[in-house]
A and B are shown apart, each in its own frame.
Chain A
Amino acid sequence: MQIILSNSSKEPIYEQITHQIKSSILSGDLKNGAALPSMRQLAKDLQISVITTKRAYEELEKAGFIYSIVGKGSFVAEQNLEVMRERKLKAIEEQLSAVIMNSKEIGLSLDELQQLLKILHEE
């Protein structure tokens, strides 16, 4: 598991951790049931305080991304992935609808829109 923290970022450290673990889970790099390092191990590895990794794990747990078993550690939660994908997909659909509406307003054709998306996607 790779986590890169920025000290100059405005985003608090614990949020940087939750975001990066979330995207590892969503992208499938972290598989269902995969064990996460213990809070204390992660704190040591990242050279940050235990309470920060504790908070990151608590937030991930609240959001249903991971679960913890006392004495065993924290694991990537299972059922959640499909739901999350669906939720993301729905968000993408909504955003695309907005894009289409905006394009229609200025008379952008589907071809032109696809072209634009292609360019942006490749960036």
Chain B
Amino acid sequence: MENVVELKGVAKNFKGFSVNNMNLQVKQGFVTGFIGANGAGKSTTIKMIMNLLKPDVGEVKIFGLDYATHEKAIKERIGFVYDGNVFFEGLNLKDIKRIVGPAYKKWDDALFYQYVEQFKLPLNKAIKTFSKGMQMKASLAVALSHHAELIIMDEPTAGLDPIFRRELLDLLQELMLDGSRTIFFSTHITTDLDRIADYIAFIQNGELVFTQSIHEVAETYALVKGGMDLLDRDTEKAFVHVHPAPTGFEALTDNIKAVNTIFGDSVVIERASLEEIMYYMKGRKSYV
């Protein structure tokens, strides 16, 4: 099984918003980062992967199984971390363990306590007294304590300070030492992904723009800078979007070879960051 998550032709319509024809694959043993602007459809997609929302059309397969017949088996193998607090606020971690633990066949008390200690979480204090970072850690400790093969996180780093974000990334890398484990997480803090993501899935206006390895992304997209005199209707075709300025233009290309052929040494070509790709794709001609 190479794809742990497979969405085929999935669509979901809401009033004024829809996710269309989503074909998404998440490869086993790797970290896939799910990026997109606020409201692009990230959470909707994750909810469909978690079977919290049913797609109008299309097929959702997790571990090669479908929810209709294997819901319990699938959920056993997933660790889910939401943004924000999902537990009853008045409960402490001991209570939560007592409630959540028995729901999983592979629940591991020792592992749970190990994470609680590693994350320095109090066992007897109500969740509502936890800081945002601690709530996130609590949620993660619970998700990791039943030996999940697939870890899905919705905006795990949103609202966290840079130090804790780094700690979280370190922890995720430690988890990835086990080659059978897969991580899928959504974020709009793209610098988190520069470090640990193997694949990037990019969603915009409810449509998946691409799913590529970080190498493919680096080899496909580039930032091009040059003088305004170089631009005309023909040469502009090499770009996804151009940002003109009196001092010269900056543009995103998805065809580095064409840019090399057309402009040669007269332009500066730089690596485009994920943030830059997101920004320029947003301004893409077809969407204006």
SS class, residues of chain B in contact with chain A: mixed
SS class, residues of chain A in contact with chain B: helix
CB-CB contacts below 8 Å: A18-51 with B: 38, 40-41, 43-44, 47-51
Residue of A nearest to B166 (CB): A47
CB distance from A30 to the nearest CB of B (A): 22
How many B residues touch the partner, as a band?
20 to 34
A40-B176, A41-B177, A44-B174 given; A50·B29 CB < 8 A: yes
Instruction: Let me know if B195 is at the binding interface, CB within 8 A.
Output: yes
Which of B38-46, B64-72, B129-137, B196-204 is the interface stretch? B196-204
Interface size on A, residues (CB 8 A): 15
A10 to B222 alpha-carbon distance, docked (Å): 13
Note all chain B residues with C-beta closer than 8 A to A51: 30, 198-199, 213-215
A40 to B173 alpha-carbon distance, docked (Å): 8
Note all chain B residues with C-beta closer than 8 A to A49: 30-31, 195-198, 214
A43 to B31 alpha-carbon distance, docked (Å): 12
B170, B198, B218, B271: the one within 8 Å of A50 (CB): B198
Interface contact A50-B30, CB-CB below 8 Å: yes
Interface contact A50-B31, CB-CB below 8 Å: yes
Interface contact A50-B176, CB-CB below 8 Å: yes
A-B pairs with the 5 shortest C-beta distances?
Answer: A51-B198, A44-B173, A49-B198, A40-B177, A49-B196
| B residues lining the A interface (CB < 8 Å) | 29-31, 169-170, 173-174, 176-179, 195-199, 213-215, 218, 271
| A residues lining the B interface (CB < 8 Å) | 10, 12, 14, 38, 40-41, 43-44, 47-52, 55
